[in-house]
Structure 1
């Protein structure tokens, strides 16, 4: 039978513990201008080597203006993490809830997901977050919520629609979404993250995505018979 979507008796998914969003700043355009400068400095120099003065110059604003929008460098980088993850999710997780062919939809999502997370800027961001999250746990939380949790949420909505139609049989769609994304990146992200050549091996990507879809559909296809 079709399962629930996080009903009673199921364990809370880590992504369920989210807090409210952060302020957007006084002027959205000025804030975007500052974030563009911060992106350039952080990605070129890394978190530790970046300074608020460097960021102000790159953004074309005064340090005084910078501090109106952001309390310090950590606050600025945390906001940049959220924006980068949100923009990636907007591009990557475009799922048509009415799509009838689940296999095709998952294959397309799998390819999009891997190519997005293996972009040099995505790898640079992830490495930086990992390096500083012990010291600045708020940054790690921002990344987790705006990145992995947002992806799980968007895919969960698609899976829930398929459960309602009886196309899939899933008790916990958030868990299933997380499992699918983990299967997709298994074996292809860690080598890049630890310093292997960043060029994607198309054969490895295809093997990972196709394998993830095959395992996922075998696990969650409706049971037949008694």
Structure 2
């Protein structure tokens, strides 16, 4: 097991092998359950250790404090989400279909109740612990945006898109079009999660608008 020191001096244990990796995963799973049920401020290291099935002493071997544990949990969850959204991107496939698939996976993730819980926790913790907010952004939104921008740039090289040499801006436009107001309304408790048909319809509209703006004739 190795130890990484974050910018603010908080130490967080990195994944090892065998029993260490298994124990670390158990701690992260326990932390996920406690943070979701009790929120960041309400969660305690003692409760996390209890749910994870480890001693409090063992918990502190892996994570110096609650902030370090939350930091690693955020990175793990958001990196996995970014991977799911941008997987199976075949450059030669139909562009409209590929964008539809990316958009639907993105919106389903954005409106998922567990993601909404995590987002609310990160927003609540970011003022007190800004590095947690930065870790969330870099592992999730920034990571996913960079992967999508790379895909769009390859489509431009193949003559399918004209991004005006701004692939990151185009990726931002596309993802914002896809989610519309769906995620914001759920985040603020205005509506329940939309069904698959609503998501598909919203994304299809986003794809049409995006291709009108960036598609080549």
8 A contact 1:159–1:173 mirrored in 2: yes
SS in 2 for 1:47: helix
**What residue number does 2:3 align with?**
none
Structure 1 residue ranges without an equivalent (≥5)? 1-18
Q: Deviations over 1:156-181 (max 9, x none)?
A: 12112111111111111111111111
8 A contact 1:185–1:208 mirrored in 2: yes
**What residue number does 1:181 align with?**
175
Deviation of residue 206 (structure 1)? 3.0
Q: 2:208 aligns with which of 211, 214, 220?
A: 214
SS in 2 for 1:169: coil
**What residue number does 1:49 align with?**
42
Between stretches 93-102 and 27-36, larger displacement belongs to: 93-102
RMSD: 1.7
Aligned length: 203
Q: 1:24 aligns with which of 6, 14, 26?
A: 14
TM-score after normalising by structure 2: 0.87
**What residue number does 1:134 align with?**
127
Considering Cα pairs closer than 8 Å and 6+ residues apart, tell me whether 1 or 2 has the greater RCO. 1
Between the aligned partners of 2:203 and 2:196, the Cα distance in structure 1 is 11
Deviation of residue 144 (structure 1)? 0.4
168 and 95 in structure 1: CA distance in 2 versus 1, 3 angstrom threshold: farther
8 A contact 2:78–2:139 mirrored in 1: yes
Between the aligned partners of 2:105 and 2:166, the Cα distance in structure 1 is 24
Q: 2:188 aligns with which of 188, 194, 204?
A: 194
1:1-226 superposed matches below 5 A: 24-26=14-16, 27-170=20-163, 171-222=165-216
Q: Deviations over 1:65-122 (max 9, x none)?
A: 1111111101111111111111212222214232331111001111111111111110
8 A contact 2:112–2:193 mirrored in 1: no
Between the aligned partners of 1:167 and 1:142, the Cα distance in structure 2 is 34
8 A contact 2:13–2:63 mirrored in 1: no
Between the aligned partners of 1:95 and 1:219, the Cα distance in structure 2 is 24
Q: Deviations over 1:149-202 (max 9, x none)?
A: 111012112112111111111111111111111111111111100113433144
TM-score after normalising by structure 1: 0.84
